[in-house]
Structure 1
Amino acid sequence: MTPATTFAGRKVALFGLGGSGLATVRSLLAGGADVLAWDDNAASRDRARDQGIAVSDLREADWSGFDALVLAPGVPLTHPEPHWTVPLAKAAGIAIIGDIEIFCRERAARAPGAPFVAITGTNGKSTTTALTAHVLRETGRDVQMGGNIGTAILSLEPPAEGRVHVIELSTFQIDLTPSLAPSIGVLLNLTPDHLDRHGTMENYAAIKERVVSSAGLAVIGVDDAYCAAIAARRGEPRMRIHVEGHGEEAGDLIVQGPRILDSDGASLADLSGIGSLRGAHNGQNAAVAVAVARALGIEGAALATGLKSFPGLAHRMEGLGRRGRVLFVNDSKATNADSTEKALLAFRDIHWIVGGKAKEGGIEPLSPLFDRIAHAYLIGASSDAFAATLEGRVPFTRCGTLEVATETAAKAAAASEAPEPVVLLSPACASYDQFPNFEVRGDRFRALVQALPEAAT
């Protein structure tokens, strides 16, 4: 845990008592702060009280005594409208921050030179964070990984010289971190997402840009117009990542098929045969990991070993094994069309399980890849809309549930004459119509695949 010593003797209001909220309370108390917490959910309040946390309705509090309001990242700061705590904090003239901001203040106070790698983007940030941390760990580095992936940042060990923090950041977290200044900031890509929380694409991009505008070294994928413009504004020191065939900007690191090259054409890494890094999108992810590792003094054989031993990320292009010729892939983390595009580009002869709570635009943007799909199996609330999109273009079956879709797709793929048919769960949708989150959805798919008898294929 990282005790929030920079808040010693100060009184803090905190709203949101989920996992990161509880971790933040523990950090603040360990650092000597006086915390008054609240959550709109009664079960969350009871859980906090059971842990000895002071819980009281912040509507009735004296805000003149607070030094800051700490919001959980899922709580709206601006859109669609500010949470009710936000105007109270603004009226009191106090800062509105999140747990990442507390970490940044601790780093500035304890070890300002400690490596802090902050990674964001619309897609690929979890894989890139996990891969970067893995490569660094394989060389014996003391690596702490967390943030928007896995462990809440204040549950990690505190900043220290020689200890590297590799942190995934969402826009919600960035928006609550005014002093964000990582030693290495990474921006992978930008496509429309979470616009209900940010209002416009321009607002969304501006928040993401803060990760690299304030960084010592900026590592930026330049294959979309928003990121290309951000890279041009950022200037040096920066490292631009370009995937051949995806955009027109020049790159300092170039992904050319399975190879990662520098701007002079020298090979820095080869991803051939690494199943966990299949596809052009993973080429970008790996190039970022290469850029970060080299900036921290790792290259050559040590870098190659780290890439080759990466086990992959659960729910993102996760190979679940085979039944005969049929390969099963869990890509439950693909919650929008842009993310699913990466999976469709990686395979052919696809038996595609798709659907859930649809994002804006649905799956029409994927139409150039429909020729890769042997059959689609529709699940969830989006079934009617997706059926209309696929009608006359891709054969499909309305399955309703993941259970029916998995069994139906497995049988159809086994009967296929293709040399390597693929049953791919890549929903291009949020999970909330049928599952609490994409992890539960992916875990269910994994269990269904593991339970398939050989006879089923």
Structure 2
Amino acid sequence: MIPVTVFAGRKVAVFGLGGSGLVTAKALAAGGALVAAFDDNADSVANAAASGVTTLDLRSADLSEFAALVLAPGVPLTHPEPHWIVTKAKAAGVEIIGDIELFCRERRAVAPDATLIAITGTNGKSTTTALIAHLFVTAGRDVQLGGNIGTAILSLEPITSDRVYVVECSSFQIDLAPTIDPTVGILLNVTEDHLDRHGSMERYAAIKARLVDGAETAVVGVDDDWSASIAAEIDRRGKPLERISVRRPVVDGFYVDRTDILKAEDASAREVADLAGIGSLRGAHNAQNAAAAVAAASVLGVSDDVIQEGLSSFPGLAHRMEEVTRIGRVLFVNDSKATNADAAEKALASFDRIFWILGGKAKTGGIDSLAPYFGKIAKAYLIGAASEAFAATLEGKVPTVIAGTMDRAVALAADDAARDTEAEPVVLLSPACASFDQYRNFEKRGDHFRELVLARAGADAIEEVR
């Protein structure tokens, strides 16, 4: 845990007592703050109290007595309307911040030269964050990985100058971090998302921009108009900037040409790394993630040889185009994180002969936008509530079977792919749907797919021995 000493001896309110909220309350208390924690959920308050956190009903408290309100990122700050605790804190003149801001203030206080790499973007944050951490582990550094990727930032090891902190930041977290100041700040892309929380694309983009605005060196993807505009503004102010592109060469950054990642410098370009044959980084979206990670590592002095070693050994993230195994010529890929058509598109674009398992609780728009990829699909296996609607979309375009359940879909797809004559048939779970009709979350759905595939792989291996 990172003791937060910057509020030592002062009263701090903490609202929202999920995992990160509990850690925040304990980190503040460990640093000497006088913590009063609360949540709308009585069970969460009781759980916090049972774990040793001091709780207080903030509905009746005088917030003007507090130095700050530390808000969990899931609590509405501005839209669709401010939460009651936000309104109350603003009326009392109390600053409202989050755990990322606490980390940044503590870093400035105790080890300002500690390396902080912060990553944001609408898509690709988690893969890029994990890849950067992997590159620095490969380089032999003490790496602390956290933030939106799933580990609360204040639960990491205490801040020291020799540690590298690699932190994924959502827009919700950045909105609560007014002085975020990473050593390297990365903005991958900005596309429409979370408008119910931020109100407009302009506000959403401005929040994302804050992370790179405060960075010593900004790394910005320039393949969408919002991010390109943010990069231009950073450049106009004369701040250190590395542009990233997978679509075209850049003159001041890193770009991808086929499988090569090149660094543009002095009116020329040199190859830094090659993505050929790295299954965990297939597709243009992963090429962008890799280019951003390479840029961060290069800026901070990691050698090209170590970067290539790290890229080649990167295992990827579970449920994000995760290569589960091969059975004979057939590759099995778990892309359960693809909960809408836009996400599934990236997987469909990455393979040429696909036995596609899809379905669940459909999102608005269905899979109509994926029609350009239907020619790659050997057969589709539908599961869950969206089966009938998706079957209608695919009718006459893709051979389709309504499998109903994951068990049957995996069995049918594996049998069909094994009989296929192409060099590398792929059984792909990329559902283009939420999981909530059959599974608690996309992780459980992906875990089930993986279990079924590995059980089949084991059975096939036993049969070969016989």
Q: What's the TM-score bracket when you normalise by the shorter of the two chains?
A: over 0.9
Task: Say whether the 8 Å CA contact 2:362–2:386 is kept in structure 1.
Answer: yes
- Cα distance in 1 for partners of 2:223, 2:370 equals 18
Segments of 4+ moved more than 6 angstroms: none
Q: How far apart are residue 360 of structure 1 and its match?
A: 4.3
Report the equivalent of 2:127. 127
Report the equivalent of 1:197. 197
CA-atom RMSD in angstroms: 2.3
Letter of the structure 1 residue corresponding to residue 258 of structure 2: G
Report the equivalent of 1:238. 241
Report the equivalent of 1:325. 329
Q: Which residues of 2 match residues 372-383 of structure 1 at below 5 A?
A: 372-383=376-387
Report the equivalent of 2:255. 254
Larger deviation: 76-85 or 447-456? 447-456
Task: Say whether the 8 Å CA contact 1:222–1:251 is kept in structure 2.
Answer: no
Report the equivalent of 1:345. 349
Instruction: Specify which of 259, 272, 276 is matched with residue 272 of structure 1.
Output: 276
Residues 248 and 198 of structure 1: is their aligned pair in 2 closer, same or farther, counting only changes over 3 Å? farther
Instruction: Specify which of 399, 407, 417 is matched with residue 411 of structure 2.
Output: 407
Larger deviation: 32-41 or 249-258? 249-258
- Please list the CA deviations of residues 125-156 of structure 1 after superposition, one character each: whole Å capped at 9, or x if unmatched: 11111111111111111211110113110001
Task: Say whether the 8 Å CA contact 2:103–2:154 is kept in structure 1.
Answer: yes
- Please list the CA deviations of residues 345-404 of structure 1 after superposition, one character each: whole Å capped at 9, or x if unmatched: 111211222233444444333222222122223334444543444343333333443333
- Please list the CA deviations of residues 149-169 of structure 1 after superposition, one character each: whole Å capped at 9, or x if unmatched: 131100012332232111001
Q: Which residues of 2 match residues 288-303 of structure 1 at below 5 A?
A: 288-303=292-307
Task: Say whether the 8 Å CA contact 1:242–1:251 is kept in structure 2.
Answer: no
TM-score (norm 1): 0.93
Identity %: 63
Task: Say whether the 8 Å CA contact 1:317–1:343 is kept in structure 2.
Answer: yes
Report the equivalent of 1:99. 99
Residues 68 and 388 of structure 1: is their aligned pair in 2 closer, same or farther, counting only changes over 3 Å? farther
Q: How far apart are residue 322 of structure 1 and its match?
A: 1.9
- Cα distance in 2 for partners of 1:429, 1:237 equals 40
Larger deviation: 203-212 or 35-44? 35-44
Q: How far apart are residue 301 of structure 1 and its match?
A: 1.6
Task: Say whether the 8 Å CA contact 1:223–1:248 is kept in structure 2.
Answer: no
Q: How far apart are residue 249 of structure 1 and its match?
A: 6.6
Q: How far apart are residue 193 of structure 1 and its match?
A: 2.1
- Cα distance in 1 for partners of 2:437, 2:452 equals 19
Task: Say whether the 8 Å CA contact 1:406–1:448 is kept in structure 2.
Answer: yes
Report the equivalent of 1:394. 398
- Secondary structure of the residue aligned to 1:315 is coil
Q: How far apart are residue 282 of structure 1 and its match?
A: 1.7
Structure 1, unaligned runs of 5 or more: none
Q: How far apart are residue 178 of structure 1 and its match?
A: 0.9
Report the equivalent of 2:423. 419
Q: How many residues align?
A: 455
Task: Say whether the 8 Å CA contact 2:244–2:250 is kept in structure 1.
Answer: no
Residues 412 and 154 of structure 1: is their aligned pair in 2 closer, same or farther, counting only changes over 3 Å? same
Task: Say whether the 8 Å CA contact 2:116–2:184 is kept in structure 1.
Answer: yes
Task: Say whether the 8 Å CA contact 1:4–1:103 is kept in structure 2.
Answer: yes
Instruction: Say whether 1:454 aligns with 2:460.
Output: yes
- Secondary structure of the residue aligned to 2:3 is coil
Task: Say whether the 8 Å CA contact 1:242–1:250 is kept in structure 2.
Answer: no
Instruction: Say whether 1:144 aligns with 2:150.
Output: no
Residues 36 and 313 of structure 1: is their aligned pair in 2 closer, same or farther, counting only changes over 3 Å? same
Q: Which residues of 2 match residues 46-85 of structure 1 at below 5 A?
A: 46-85=46-85
Structure 2, unaligned runs of 5 or more: none
Q: How far apart are residue 250 of structure 1 and its match?
A: 5.8
- Secondary structure of the residue aligned to 1:137 is helix
Task: Say whether the 8 Å CA contact 1:182–1:215 is kept in structure 2.
Answer: yes
Letter of the structure 2 residue corresponding to residue 255 of structure 1: V
- Secondary structure of the residue aligned to 1:177 is coil
- Secondary structure of the residue aligned to 2:349 is helix
- Cα distance in 1 for partners of 2:230, 2:363 equals 25
Task: Say whether the 8 Å CA contact 2:354–2:426 is kept in structure 1.
Answer: yes
